[in-house]
Amino acid sequence: MRVTRITTNLRVPDIDAAKSFYTGYLGLTDEEFNLGWVARYTSPETGAHVQLVTRDATAAEDSVMSVHTTDVEAAYREAQQLGYEIVHPITTEAWGPRRFFVRAPDGTVINVVGHPTEHAEDVS
């Protein structure tokens, strides 16, 4: 799998209540998106970012990080071939990304995600 970015999924009880700490104190002022249950905040200067999650809207379990890849289909097949547990099947979500959840051998649940606009030649 070719990983293009890894994002921490930080569990919070309320995104709006947590937002000021991450945007004000930590300076992650760019809100890349906010779906109410998940929001990503980024530093415009450094690109450092965090994703706040209350509860995943479509998966039975929450993930601790999102691993972005250029070929989510290949990553899904590879996870299956290696015998890893698929926690959330590969799905194109209503908000755009195609993703699945896989459980690492240590029990950690990881969201593997691709976006229709991400292509190997476009990602640096």
CATH number at residue 10: 3.10.180.10
Q: What is the spatial distance between Cα 98 and Cα 44, in angstroms, rounded to a whole number?
A: 26
Tokens of 122: 């476009």
Kind of pairing between the strands at 109-114 and 85-92: unpaired
Domain span at residue 90? 3-114
pLDDT score for 124: 25
Rounded average pLDDT over 64-78: 95
In a domain, 32, yes or no: yes
In a domain, 82, yes or no: yes
The predicted model scores a pTM of: 0.83
pLDDT score for 117: 62
Could you tell me which residue, 25 or 124, shows the higher pLDDT? 25
In a domain, 27, yes or no: yes
pLDDT, mean over the chain: 91
In a domain, 28, yes or no: yes
Structural domains of the chain, count: 1
